[in-house]
Amino acid sequence: MRFTIDEKIRGKVFVGVATVLNVRNTNYPNELVDIMNSIINEVRTRYTLDDLKNDPVIRHYRDFYWHELGIDPTKQRPAQEALLRRVLRGEDLPRINPVVDIGNIASIRYLVPIGLYDIDKFSNKDLVIRYARDGEYFNPIGSPRKILSSNQIVLSTVDGLILHVYPYRDSEETKIRNETKNVLIVTAGVPGVDYDRLINSAQFIIDLTTKYLGGAVGAKPVLIKDETMI
């Protein structure tokens, strides 16, 4: 699979990418649940709702929303911030399935948006991060179909199937289901965010899925700023 960032947006976005194969995405081993609960407790001691907006990593994503996407981040929170605020309010993270839940835990631990996609649903086709075309359709998880505009950034197959509106909405077509076996991991970066954070969050997901869900490493985490094979 070739993964490309279109020349028009190189320097504006970069990603950590990896794959894990043959996961068993149905049961929650007790050890995995303990790790997830431990990380929730850890972030509750590290952050507060009042101070979260001042965290430098959160600020970089907020700035990207304002200046690149034209989105008010106080009205539509960056994905990882929304999850973290939920936890800091004393709520639990949503329980969806083990792979998605591992992704959510990684997101609040490393403060980066994380996309997880069923490789078999897009047939392992080459992927590109690019600007959307006016009038393109996107089917977000849990919401009606959206019409996109050219200021939005998407992750799509080379033949036009949109997996993700960068860096906050995933597609119904390629979402992770209980029956998913093969998973593409994409950790979304913006200017100011250190590259190691993207690689480490992807590795964290691989470590947990291979240890507790029976998966095997398909491709180790790599940073993509332009184009590479994974």
Separation between Cα atoms, residue 59 and residue 172, nearest integer Å: 29
For 103, 145, 147, 152, 188, the CA distances from 142, given in Å and listed in that order, are: 18, 10, 15, 19, 21
Residue range 14-32: mean pLDDT, rounded = 97
Residue range 157-180: mean pLDDT, rounded = 97
pLDDT reported for residue 213: 98
pLDDT reported for residue 156: 98
pLDDT reported for residue 152: 96
pLDDT reported for residue 88: 98
Residue range 191-218: mean pLDDT, rounded = 98
Residues contacting residue 173 through CB under 8 Å, at least 6 positions apart: 121, 122, 139, 161, 163
pLDDT reported for residue 210: 98
Mean pLDDT over each residue of the chain, to the nearest integer: 97
According to DSSP, the β-strands at 137-138 and 146-147 are antiparallel
Domain span holding position 17? 2-229
At 123, which CATH number? 3.50.40.10
What percentage of residues in the chain have a pLDDT greater than 70?
100
What's the structural domain count of the chain?
A: 1
